[in-house]
Structure 1
Amino acid sequence: MKRYSNDENIYDENSFPDPFTHPEECVLSLGISHTWLCDPSRFLSIEQQINIEAELLKIRDTNFHKCSNNSVSVAIVPEIFVSKNETYENAAQQFSEKLLRKWGIGNSPCHDGILLVYIKNLGKFVIAKREGVEEKYINENEIKKHFMNIYFASGSISRALIESISFMNKKLPSKPTELTNTAKMFLILILFYIISIIILYVTTLMYRKKGKLSKYIHGNILKN
């Protein structure tokens, strides 16, 4: 049995908006097809929401693994339903994991989605992740500690989220650096230079051997 309320700000995983299908319920920006952040109670300003979106985009642009890039979303929840026989800790974790699956975050072949959830009334920061997320890259306790330290020091949910996402980004594997056209041209020139040196060296050796052979033949002719 759940502790129900008429308060519209109390959510379960079914009533909380989906940023991929109803972005207008999640963020202040208008005319977008989807978002990776859901803040239905508008705890953040539009500028803060955009800054968090930008940090999430960095993860998708700069990190990768065998199933393309990493997918991370954020939910800022005012309050959740909690069963009478359930601890707040367990309720927060269950809510986050169910929301992660409902939103379908991640690449389907790898089951690698990550959802960061801040539940305001409980003061809890939860990291829900699919089974494909590698432990060596995402240490939940380390990220939680980082978030809470920033939040207690600044009092800002936005700053704590941005710095935690940035912290995660540094831990995740990076995309191989692609060479610029200038760098590629430079490498080609170096390769041509090395090949030219080798050809010159081989030609010189052949010329010297040919010269010695000519002298030897000429000497034998004179003797005869």
Structure 2
Amino acid sequence: MTMKLVIVSVCALLVWGASAQQTYQLDEAFFTDVQPSADTHSQSVRFSFRPLSHADPTGVKSGGPTQKKEWSLSTYPSPFLDPTSCNRGEAAEAGETTWLCDPDGWLTDDEANDVDTRLLKFRQETQHACGSLGKTFYQLAIALMAKLPYSLAKDKKRAKHDERTELNTYANSFAEKLLVTYGIGHKQCHDGILLLYSVQDHMAVVRWREGLEPYINEAAKFTIERDIERAIHLNGDNLKDGLLEAIELIEHRLPTKHHAPGGSSHTMDILLIVLFLALVGACVAYALHQMQQALYDEGVAVYGEDHAKELATPLQAVTQQTEAIAKTLSDTLTGLIAQE
């Protein structure tokens, strides 16, 4: 009987351990494209950033500007029409299409190539239905600048949070208009996305066309931008790695050739839940079986074997039902693992 109690206790500890297991998934939000709107409001979380280092212009960056300009919608270049001004001239000369504009030269040529390569993979991996085009990809472009061309009105009474909110409102308007100017997205389904990042303002803004919804929308926008800013910040001086992670965050929100939006993390959550329930069911079934056996043994000793079977029959039915539930959960878990 002591050994039976030990086994039951071990099962209870396993159940407790499974219930105590926690998984943390950083919600990566995404964005979607809407009609241009100058009054789009959004707030970004403030971080204590370490200033990024500007790319060394000597021998590393060819053709990049030596001075950072104050850009406007009329002067900020397009990587599709003027890749040289976006510091992607060499890529264009090599016959490559660039979806990155870095007119202030924050990235080296090699770093910019890595970002463009990842943007190409983004187009190769994402997939959705687009009218007469059938299955096609989403289009994502990235625009970098040293500082947003916006001067905050000086007001000593205004909180820093309000200043950042005002700056973010302007950044959204700028990015929205830039998205339309670039013409990102297939005209049949309006599936373009633009990521604007201002290095010195430490601000990421995402704008999208209506074809991205519901995967990216205003409700998810704040989380997406927060996670992108955090990713760039956590990569310290390495802006390239931050941008690569930002692309990954966006892609995770969209349907791809291999999984549904956010499929990996949600499937893992389901697997953990089913595993926990299967473990609980198995332990409960084992405990009931032990109780049934103990009741039967005691009944045999006191009343005889025939009467002992009658005493144990109700508990046996419950045990069988519990075992059936545990088996169903186990089969479900096996099926989910096979699909993953």
Partner of residue 72, structure 2: 12
Partner of residue 189, structure 1: none
With a CA cutoff of 8 Å and minimum separation of 6, indicate the structure with the bigger relative contact order.
2
Are positions 1:114 and 2:174 aligned together? no
Contact 1:75 1:116 in 2 (8 A): yes
Contact 2:141 2:195 in 1 (8 A): yes
Q: Distance in 1 between matches of 2:150 and 2:230?
A: 26
Gaps of 5+ in 2: 1-66, 131-135, 154-162, 260-340
Partner of residue 57, structure 2: none
**Residue number among 252, 265, 269 corresponding to 1:170 in the alignment:** 252
Q: CA deviation at 1:24?
A: 1.0
Contact 1:105 1:114 in 2 (8 A): yes
Are positions 1:96 and 2:175 aligned together? yes
Contact 1:25 1:40 in 2 (8 A): yes
Contact 1:22 1:34 in 2 (8 A): no
Q: How does 1:108-147 map to 2 (within 5 A)?
A: 108-137=187-216, 139-147=220-228
Length-normalised TM-score, structure 1: 0.69
Q: How many residues align?
A: 171
**Residue number among 87, 99, 105 corresponding to 1:27 in the alignment:** 87
Q: Distance in 1 between matches of 2:113 and 2:102?
A: 12
Q: What per-residue deviation string (whole Å, max 9, x for no partner) do you get for residues 132-186 of structure 1?
A: 2113356323322222222222212211110110122222111279xxxxxxxxx
Percent of paired sites with the same residue: 30
- From the CA coordinates, give the structure whose radius of gyration is larger: 1
Q: Give the 3-state SS of the residue equivalent to 2:212 in structure 1.
A: coil
User: Match of 1:73, as an amino acid?
Assistant: A
Q: Distance in 1 between matches of 2:125 and 2:257?
A: 6
Partner of residue 235, structure 2: 154
Q: Distance in 1 between matches of 2:242 and 2:174?
A: 21
Q: CA deviation at 1:121?
A: 2.7
**Residue number among 77, 85, 91 corresponding to 2:145 in the alignment:** 77
Q: Give the 3-state SS of the residue equivalent to 2:73 in structure 1.
A: coil
Superposed CA RMSD in Å reads 2.3
User: Match of 2:248, as an amino acid?
Assistant: S
User: Match of 2:167, as an amino acid?
Assistant: Y
Q: What per-residue deviation string (whole Å, max 9, x for no partner) do you get for residues 3-25 of structure 1?
A: xxxx8611112110010011111
Q: CA deviation at 1:114?
A: 0.2
Contact 2:88 2:98 in 1 (8 A): no
Further displaced range: 76-85 or 43-52: 76-85
* Distance change >3 Å, CA 33–CA 165, structure 1 → 2: closer
* Distance change >3 Å, CA 153–CA 112, structure 1 → 2: same
Partner of residue 45, structure 1: 108
User: Match of 1:163, as an amino acid?
Assistant: E
Q: Give the 3-state SS of the residue equivalent to 2:123 in structure 1.
A: helix
User: Match of 1:23, as an amino acid?
Assistant: P
* Distance change >3 Å, CA 176–CA 79, structure 1 → 2: closer
Q: CA deviation at 1:120?
A: 1.9
User: Match of 2:223, as an amino acid?
Assistant: E
Contact 1:21 1:34 in 2 (8 A): no
Q: Distance in 2 between matches of 1:158 and 1:113?
A: 22
Length-normalised TM-score, structure 2: 0.47
